[in-house]
Amino acid sequence: MEKKRLTIAYAEYGSVAELPEEYRQLMEAAMAATENAYAPYSQFHVGAAVRLADGTVVPGSNQENIAYPSGLCAERTALFSASARYPQLAVEALAVVGFHEGGFCEASPCGACRQVMAEYELRYGNEITVLCYLEGGRIRQISGVKSLLPFAFEAEL
C-alpha cells in the first residue's frame, strides 16, 4: 500500500475590484444575473456567467420548480445556454455568486455542475477558470476542473 496526497492550488483576490478587468466584468455579470433567479422555494438566488473564447459573456441563474429535482443550478443554466447558442466557442471561465437576505454571499459549484464543467474541458480541450464569490467579498480563483473534481468519471464510450 502506498499513501498519496493530492494538493489543490487556488488563488484569492481581496475584492471584486481587485480582479483583472475581464474577470471583474464576468463576476459583475454573475452578480447581475442573480436578479433573474427564480428561487421561490429556497430564497437563495444564484447568478453565474461564463466567458467564451471570443469574449462573449453568457449569464445564468438558478431556476427552481415545485418538483424540486426538476430545477437547475445557475452554473448549468449558463453553461447549457452558452453551448446551445455558441457550440463552436470554448468555455474559458465561469463566475458564480449567491444573493440571500439582501446581500451577496458565497457560492461554489455543486458536484453535478463540476461534472458538466469537466465535460466542457474535454470537449474544447482547455481548462476552465472558476471564480467563486466568498463571504466578505473575497474571490476564489481555481484553474481547471480537476482541482474541483479530482478523480472525475471519464470513459471512452
In the set 21, 35, 75, 154, the catalytic residue is: 75
- Pick between residue 66 and residue 157 the one whose CB is nearest to ligand THU: 66
25, 28, 71, 127: residue in contact with ligand THU (rule CB under 6 A): 71
Per CB under 6 A, 121 contacts ligand THU:
no
The footprint of ligand THU on this chain (CB under 6 A) covers a number of residues equal to: 15
Per CB under 6 A, 115 contacts ligand THU:
no
Per CB under 6 A, 73 contacts ligand THU:
yes
Specify which residues 100 forms β-bridges with: 103
SS (H, E, C) 26-62: HHHHHHHHHHHCECCCCCCEEEEEEEECCCCEEEEEC
50, 82, 107, 142: residue in contact with ligand THU (rule CB under 6 A): 107
Q: Give CA 104 to chain center in angstroms.
A: 15
Q: How far is the CB of 109 from ligand THU (least distance, A)?
A: 5
Cα–Cα distance, 39 to 94 (Å, whole number): 21
Tally of CB atoms within 10 A around 60: 28
| Active site members | 75
